[in-house]
Structure formats: C-alpha cells, structure tokens
Amino acid sequence: MNLLATIRLAFNALVRNKARSLLTMLGIVIGVAAVIITVAIGVGARVSVQQRIASLGANLIIVQPGSVTQGGVRTGFGGASTLTPQDGMAIAQLPGVAAVSPIVNMRTQAVAGGNNWQTLITGVAPTYTYIKSWSLASGRFFSQSEVNSIAKVAVLGQTDVHELFPNGASPIGQTVNIKGSPFTVIGTLAARGQSGMGQDQDDVILIPYTSEMQRLTGLKTVNLLMISAAGASQIIPVQNEVTALLAARHRIVAPQPYDFQVRNLQAFAQAASSTGAVMEFLLAGVAAVSLLVGGIGIMNIMLVSVTERTREIGLRMAVGARARDILRQFLTESIVLSTLGGLLGVMVGILGTVFVALSAHWPTIIPPQWVLAAVGFSGMVGIFFGYYPAQKAAHLNPIDALRFE
C-alpha cells in the first residue's frame, strides 16, 4: 500500500470515531497551544526588554566615580568626587570613541511664569542627543560654543513642557528660572516615556554642563561620563582604554583601588538574554511534559483501539496483510492523530496569543521555528507512543484475532 492510501485509511479510521479522536487529540492540542502562547509571551517580553536596553543608548559605556575610604568609612560608588569634564575630553581623544558627554544631575525647582515644578536638571554636552539616540520635538539643541560660553539655555523634556507651560503655547523663547538664573528655552525633547526602571525619562531639563557646574552646583566634578563606542565590537576595548587612561590621569597605582568604575550596558543585555534563555528552557520543559502527557493519552487510546479492532486485524491478516502492513496502519493512525493535534494546537495557540496581545496589551512574538518544532515534536510523539500499540497489533496471532469476541 502506498503512503497516501495509508494516510487516507488512517484518516478514515479516525473520522469513524470522531468524538474519541478529538478527545485524544485534546491533550496534544492543549500542550502545543500552551507552548505557543507562553513562548509568544516570553519571546515578546525578552525582545521588548532588549529594545528598551538598546534605547538607553548606542553602545553606551558609563564611567561612575568609585568608592573612597575616608577614615575607615567607605562611601560606596559615586562617593568619590574625582571625575571631571577634563577626563571626558581626554577620553574623547581615544580611538574607538564616538562621543563623550559629562553628566551633572541636580533636582531642583524650575519656575516659568506662574508655574513651578520640581524636576531633574541635567547638565550635558551637545553630544548627549547622539549618545542617547534622543531626537528633538521642536527647536534646537545647544552647541559647543554655548557650552564654552556657559550659556543660560535649556532644552525641556515633554513632562516639563506640560507642567511649566500647561496652556499649550510653544515654550521656545520663553524663560525658565532655575535657582534664580533665567534660562532661555531653545528646544524640546521628543517624548520617551518610562525607563526600564520605571522612571519618567521626560521629566528632565537639559542645560550645558558648564552652566550647571558653575551656575547651579558650584562643583568641579561631574556625576557621570557617558561614552558612546564607535561600534558594538569597540565596547570592550574602549572600556579597557578608558580604565587605563583614567587610572593614569588620577595617578592610581596598584594595589590602590580605582576611584572610578567603568560599566557597559551589555551586562544588562546579557542578563536579560540569559534570563530569556532560562525562560525558554523552562518553556521547553513545560512543552515536553505536556506533550508527554498528550502522548500517553494517544498510546492509551491506540491500545484500546487495537483491542477493539482485533477481529479487523485478524481479517486483514487472513486476506494477506503482512505484519508490517498492520504496523504501518496503526502507526500512521497515531502519527496522523498527533500531528493533527499539533496543527490544531498551533491554531489555538495563535488565537490565544492574539487574545492575550489584545486583552493584556503584552508584547507577543510567535517565532516560526517554535511553531515548526511544536508540530514536528507532536508528530514524533505520535511515532514514539504509537509504536508500542502498533507493534502489539502487528504481532497478533491471526487465528486468535479472528476468534476474538
């Protein structure tokens, strides 16, 4: 008998027992659907985390002041006041560095007309928008000459636009008072929403770092240096060069500890993707268990079917079926059953994923290779769990089978 005829025969046998075939498939259907839905949610979450990490900045390296020990008390990271804008300028000369910006932060009240709002005033260099891949909603960003001239210019995040200029008029050209200094608004930032840590990234006013240091904080040091490497492959070499450069500039000799710390966001990305890998591994485990249970269901029903159809098997043998014909017939039935179950499961899984995406607004991605793997694996479940019953059928003694009541 050819393959097509065998599959048709198996199909007919399954159609004869519609309700039972459907119930048998249900185990596989639920297993595969559960796998598709959980994978879609898991992969969707992982990709959105990766996108958020990528949005933190292009090939970003951060230099933070390190810990210092003063009279036996260690301050923790950021405690040392040793990073200067000059360190940043030196770093900018290194090969593989695309851009550097000092970062100076301060929370204080901003006042515009009758409105005031406590916000984060961040002093940066003009390279900041490039490093953070942040575009402007309107106006312009400040230039290097404005940094050099310690200009009183500001670029507003969208939250500050709404809080300080609630009437909807353009804030460009308006004045914002920060700690008594009037800053002229020259641009607004595009909305960014919440950061990965849940902070409102739009609640910020950017001013030249020179202005912030000399007019607001009065300090000679900065909170951070943000560095953008020229490419993903440059991140580690740049990190090493920056470490060596700063150690030399700060005259640190081993075994003295560094008074700064150089970090990149790849660690975050790696942590996120390894979490994702663990998730996928767990999901694969769930898949294996649910398909195993579904497979046992199939084996159970196939054994019942072999017993029920003992006379049919005897008759087929009497009219010339070889053991391998019987084996193939029952094996095909169980493979058709499990593969159909897998296909139905994929459909249910895709519908379920669409439902989750629409109702919970979770990001979901259905990877096609998981769909193929789920269908393929359910087919293999059919072979594995169908073999024993089929083998049992093929080795029935024709006389006993014909006499069976």
Partner 1 sequence: MSNVVDVQRLRKVYPMDADEVIALAAVDLTIESGEFIAVMGPSGSGKSTFMQIVGMLDRPTSGDYHFEGRDVASLRDDERAAIRSRRLGFVFQSYNLLSRTSALENVELPMVYAGVPEHERRRVALEMMSIVGVEQLARHGSNQMSGGQQQRVAIARALVNNPGLILADEPTGALDTKTSLDVMRLFTELNQERGITIMLVTHEADIAAFARRIVTFRDGHILSDVANEERAA
16 near partner 1, judged by CB under 8 A: yes
68 near partner 1, judged by CB under 8 A: no
C-alpha–C-alpha distance, residues 385 and 390, integer Å: 9
Secondary element (H or E) of residue 87: helix 85-92
Contacting partner 1 within 325-364 (CB under 8 A): 325
Among 122, 316, 335, 371, binds partner 1 (CB under 8 A): 316
312 near partner 1, judged by CB under 8 A: yes
20 near partner 1, judged by CB under 8 A: no
180 near partner 1, judged by CB under 8 A: no
Nearer to partner 1, 16 or 107 (CB): 16
Nearer to partner 1, 4 or 73 (CB): 4
Number of CB atoms found within 10 A of residue 131's CB: 23
Q: Which residues of 164-192 are buried (b: 16+ CB within 10 A; e: fewer)?
A: bbeeeeebbebebebeeeebebbbbbeeb
Binding window for partner 1 (CB under 8 A); candidates: 40-48, 227-235, 317-325, 337-345: 317-325
- Cα Dmax for the chain: 105
- In the numeric block, the tokens 């398909």 are attached to 291
393 near partner 1, judged by CB under 8 A: no
Q: What residue type is 251 in one-letter code? A: R
254 near partner 1, judged by CB under 8 A: no
4 near partner 1, judged by CB under 8 A: no
Among 311, 355, 358, 372, binds partner 1 (CB under 8 A): 311
- In the numeric block, the tokens 């975050």 are attached to 268
Helix (H, G, I), strand (E, B) or coil at 159: helix
C-alpha–C-alpha distance, residues 398 and 405, integer Å: 13
Residue 323 Cβ vs partner 1, minimum distance, rounded to whole Å: 6
Nearer to partner 1, 62 or 315 (CB): 315
Among 124, 147, 154, 317, binds partner 1 (CB under 8 A): 317
Backbone angles phi, psi at 119, to 5 degrees: -145, 175
Residue 303 Cβ vs partner 1, minimum distance, rounded to whole Å: 20
Binding window for partner 1 (CB under 8 A); candidates: 155-163, 232-240, 369-377, 397-405: 397-405
Q: CB-based contacts of 154: which residues, under 8 Å, 6+ apart?
A: 176, 178, 183, 184, 185, 186, 205, 206, 207
Q: CB-based contacts of 257: which residues, under 8 Å, 6+ apart?
A: 66, 67
Radius of gyration of the chain (CA): 34
3 near partner 1, judged by CB under 8 A: no
Going by C-alpha positions, the residue among 358, 361, 312 that lies closest to residue 333 is 312
Residue 24 Cβ vs partner 1, minimum distance, rounded to whole Å: 18
Residue 11 Cβ vs partner 1, minimum distance, rounded to whole Å: 13
Among 156, 283, 321, 375, binds partner 1 (CB under 8 A): 321
C-alpha–C-alpha distance, residues 287 and 369, integer Å: 14
5 near partner 1, judged by CB under 8 A: yes
- Token couple for 211: 């202005």
398 near partner 1, judged by CB under 8 A: yes
304 near partner 1, judged by CB under 8 A: no
Which residues in this chain contact partner 1 in the complex, by CB under 8 A?
1, 5, 16, 311-312, 314-325, 398-399, 402
